[in-house]
Structures are given as C-alpha cells and as structure tokens.
Structure 1
Amino acid sequence: MVRRLLSRLRPWFASLFAITVGLVFVLQSCAGPDAPSANEPSGDEFTERMAQEHQDDEPIATDAALQAPAVEVTSQTVEYATVEGQPVTGFFSQPAETEAPLPGIIAIHEWWGLNDNIKAMTERLAGEGYSVLAVDLYGGQVVDQPDQARQLMQGVMQNLQPAEDNLLQAYDYLVNEQQASAVGSIGWCFGGAWSLNTGLLLPQDLDAVVIYYGQLETDPAILAPLEMPIAGFFGGQDQGIPIAMVETFEAALTELGKSAEIHIYEEADHAFANPSGTRYNPEAAADAWEKTTAFFAEALRDE
C-alpha cells in the first residue's frame, strides 16, 4: 500500500488544483449549466432549481431498479476507509462464485445518498463479473426529500477533502484488500461529477471512468493528465448539463488525444437512468447500460 501511495504523489499534486476547480461545479451537476454569466443563475439558484426538478422523485428501489444480476452475487457492508478519524462503510458486491481476483469498480451515488437504487445497480454491475464498491460520501445518511439532499450535498462541497480521501481509500481497498486487477469508476448526477474527479485524483492509476449526466470539466489543461478511457451518457433535454457543455468536453478530450466515447440521447432528460425518478427513460437507460457494460469489459478486462 505504501508503494502505491508513493507512486501517486506526483499525480496527486499535479491534480490537486484540478480537483478543487472541477468540484466547485458539482452543486450544479443535477440542474445547472456551467459557470453562470451575469445573466445566468447563481450557484444557490442552481441548487434551488435542482431541488425543484427532483421534487416529485421518490428515490426508492422500484421493480425496474431491482433487476436481477446476470449471475448470483454476494453483497455485504464493508469498512473501507477512515475519514476524519471516523470509519466509513460502503456496499460491496461480487459474483458468488469466483476464484481469481476480479476487476473492481467504484460506484458513486446520486445526491440522495447510498440508497437501495444504488445498491441494486451495484449488484447488477457485480453480476457482470466485477468486485464493486458503492462508496458513501454522506457518512451513512440517506434521504428522500430534495431539501435534505441539497443540505447533504452542500456539506460535501463546503469541505472537499473528506470526499477526496474517501475515494482514494476506496481505490486502495479494491486494489489492496480485493486485489483488483484493474479499477474503474462510475457515478450518476452528483456521483457522475465525482466519477470524473476520481479520474483527476488518480490520472495514472484509474483504468476507466463512466459518467452519467454529471457536471463536466472542460478545461483542456485540467483534463490533460487523464490517461484512462472515458465514457459519458447524457440527455439531450437536460437543462443542467447542456449539450454545448458535453460537446465542449468531448472536443477537449479529442484534441488531447484521449480515448472517449460520449453518448447523447436526444429525447432523454436528466437522470434518465434512474428508475425511481420522474424522468426515467427505459429505452435510453437500457442502451446506456449495454454500452456501459461493453465499455467496462474492454477497459477493465480487455475483452
């Protein structure tokens, strides 16, 4: 573990500024466009808009969310980190029958917290042949009201270091405790922004990044250190993550020579892959899932 931590010192310092810059926008990841001009809403207004957009959502695991994994999996609560002196637990899942160490995936929850929807998605990913750790950035708190979710997310944003430490230790857990042969990240909305920023935290170590409608960093200088392939899934009707931002992000990665595949579903809105949300789009969600599993298979298992 010491060797791995030492090997990350250079990427860490090179990326520290990038993380700080990139994550100031996470509060907008579920509802607001990029940095507001004089005629655009402030960050607080973006947060209010997000609360309004989610006001009819019921973040509980629906039948659509509880699709059975492709193979039988085993799941458990595990302690994977210590942040600010407190133990952090997450939801860990992997195939029930496995012999060799598997590739690992860090799964990052939406603004509701580590709820049953995310746990169900974790098990579906595990069923594809991975050791999946769903992290908890909220210290065990899970909510179902937009006002509560807004407060939790703001708490994370007011002090980024604990979340960064959390994700770095999640990576170490998969590598050192589970002997993962490769590690990728995936996140939705709030978690989508953190998935990208996990790549910025570990630009030479992380092996794949998947972003579902998360706030994007578009500055080529900040994106330059990334060495892993990236996949992104966005809704064409998403007012919070506008297509112009997505296209700028894709263009920056292309100009930098990065491996990236960006998918925009023209008729889909924000959170189109969340079965418990009012904007769930089953066709777009199914296609994105198929592309996600194919992407991870190639990036993490070289299939």
Structure 2
Amino acid sequence: MAGPATILPSVSWSRGVASRIVKTTDDVLSTVPAPAGSDVRVEPVRYDHEGTALLGVLAKDHAESGPRPAVLVVHDWHGVNEHVEARVAMLARLGYVAFGADVYGEGVRPGDDTASEVAGSFYQDLPLFRARLTAGLEQLREDPDVDHSRIVVMGYCFGGSGALELARTGADLVGAVSFHGGLIAHDPSDAAAIRAKLLVLTGGSDPVVPDSAVTAWQDEMRGAPEVDWQVVTYAGAMHAFAVPGTDAPDHGAQYQERADRRSWQALQVFLAEVFDEEPTIV
C-alpha cells in the first residue's frame, strides 16, 4: 500500500511573456522533423473513467500500419495543452504511437492561479490518480497499431509524478520516464510492484524537487533491489526545465534549452533500450 502522499510546494508561474524565453512549443516541435512520406496526425480522443469524461490526444503516422511501440504522455499541472500535443507529435515522428492522457477531465485546464489546487487534489488521492492514469493506459492499448508488449509512460512535472505512480501499480510497462516530476517517496514495499525500468530526469536547481526529495526517492528504490532505475541531474536546471515558455525564476521554474535538449536525447536512448531498437538521436 502507498504511504502518505507528499504534497509538493505550491508555486505559480507564467509562460511566454518575458524576453529571455528563447524557445516556444513550435520551436521544440521543429527539432524533430517529420520523415519524408509520413502522415503524422494529432487527433482528439474522448474516453471516460467511471463517468468522468476525459479528452486526450493521439498521435501516430498514418502512412505506417501494424503494431509498433507506444508512449503514454502525462500532462503537467495545466492539463492537456499545446505542449502535450507537441510532445506526442514528436514521438509519432520518431515512429511511435503516442497518447496524451487526460487526468483531470474534459474542459479542466487550470491556469496558473488554480493549477496547484487541482493537481494537489490528485496528490492527496493517489488511488484516484493511479486509476485515471490506468484509464489512459487502457485507452492507448485500444489502438490497433500499439504493440502491447512495448509501452512506456512519460510525463512532465505533475505528469512525471504520474508516470512513476502508474509504474508503482505494477502496470505492464517496459519503462517510465519522469521529466522534473515531483518525487513522492513511499514505503519500499510499494516499489516492489514496479515492472518498468525507470528514468528520472531532474534539475539540479529545482526547489520543487530538492536534493532531499531525490534522496528519499532513491532510498525507496534501494529498498526494492529488483527495480532498474536511474537518475540524471541537469546542472542549473530549475523546475519545468523542459516546458517551453516557462519563465518564473523567482519561483524556481525556468525553461532551459540545454536541459530540455539533453533530456530529450536521454529519452530517445532509453526508449531504444527498452523497445530493443537501434537509437536514432534527433
């Protein structure tokens, strides 16, 4: 059973308004060009969880057919937005089926002033959080082009926490990746259910995920020696370092192009390993 949840510090930040922002979502999307002859589409997908309507986004190359590896992408505390759409498109351009799951519910897309409260309600109710994540995984599995034996979950901030929580359920995943996600530590017995390999990508100057949180999470993993995990820390990177447009250094949150680029490259190496493919780094 999960131990008490650690509620992450409440911070707020804005996006896309300061001159020092050097990357937009479109800029990041353009770093992974669409292959010649491809037909990558990002399309909305409605599904539900116990009566709650959910709205995710699915991306895949319609020029290809047949089962292929898949990636479940979990949104940050702002919900499914243009950043999620860009990431699933990037993954589809790499040859994967990618689904951006909706944890909050259709139409629930909180702004900076309410995002902490909405995200916090799921941190406080881990069974619901995990159930919504599982619903997203089940929706992804319904796509006929998904190879069920090769699925990874990944997420940003709130979604990074979610990726690790889904892994803790014992879900049939080959990997779970957290980009600057909150590291909620549980009893090591909870980690024993994990079947996925874990990759945690964190910022060296992230006040939301301080060294103490990283250490506590590592201690949990050390208590479950069968789990394959790794942590990569990026120097000078604050919270949300891979979310384009984030610009609130006074609150410890700032997009960093270098950490975004390196963490995306680390993701590609990890996916190649767990999917048993030759890595192609873009």
Pick aligned residue for 2:142 from 147, 168, 176: 176
Verify: 1:66 aligned to 2:37, yes or no: no
Deviation at 1:228, TM superposition (A): 1.3
SS for the counterpart of 1:65 is helix
C-alpha RMSD of matched pairs (Å): 2.4
Pick aligned residue for 1:264 from 233, 236, 240: 233
Q: Is the 8 A contact 1:66 1:117 kept in 2?
A: no
Pick aligned residue for 1:216 from 172, 183, 191: 183
Which protein is richer in strand relative to its size? 2
Q: Is the 8 A contact 2:163 2:178 kept in 1?
A: yes
CA deviations over 1:36-61 (Å, ceiling 9, x no partner): xxxxxxxxxx22xx12xx2x334995
Take 2:162 and 2:192, find their aligned partners in 1: how far apart are those partners?
A: 17
Pick aligned residue for 1:141 from 99, 107, 111: 107
Counterpart code for 2:91: L
Deviation at 1:214, TM superposition (A): 1.3
TM-score (norm 2): 0.82
Deviation at 1:139, TM superposition (A): 1.3
Correspondence for 1:36? none
Deviation at 1:146, TM superposition (A): 1.6
Residues 216-295 of structure 1 aligned to structure 2 (within 5 Å): 216-218=183-185, 219-254=187-222, 256-278=225-247, 279-295=254-270
CA 258–300 in structure 1, closer or farther in 2 if over 3 Å, else same: same
Q: Is the 8 A contact 2:66 2:144 kept in 1?
A: no
Pick aligned residue for 2:91 from 118, 122, 125: 125
SS for the counterpart of 2:68 is coil
SS for the counterpart of 1:268 is coil
CA deviations over 1:143-177 (Å, ceiling 9, x no partner): 46321212322343455554433221222222233
Correspondence for 2:20? none
Q: Which moved more, 1:134-143 or 1:190-199?
A: 134-143
CA 217–75 in structure 1, closer or farther in 2 if over 3 Å, else same: same
CA 58–153 in structure 1, closer or farther in 2 if over 3 Å, else same: farther
CA 155–221 in structure 1, closer or farther in 2 if over 3 Å, else same: closer
TM-score (norm 1): 0.77
Take 2:68 and 2:183, find their aligned partners in 1: how far apart are those partners?
A: 29
Pick aligned residue for 2:160 from 192, 199, 205: 192
Which protein is richer in helix relative to its size? 1
Gaps of 5+ in 2: 18-22, 248-253
Correspondence for 1:33? none
CA 65–231 in structure 1, closer or farther in 2 if over 3 Å, else same: same
Take 2:126 and 2:231, find their aligned partners in 1: how far apart are those partners?
A: 27
Q: Is the 8 A contact 1:65 1:117 kept in 2?
A: no
Aligned length: 259
Gaps of 5+ in 1: 1-16, 29-45
Correspondence for 1:207? 174
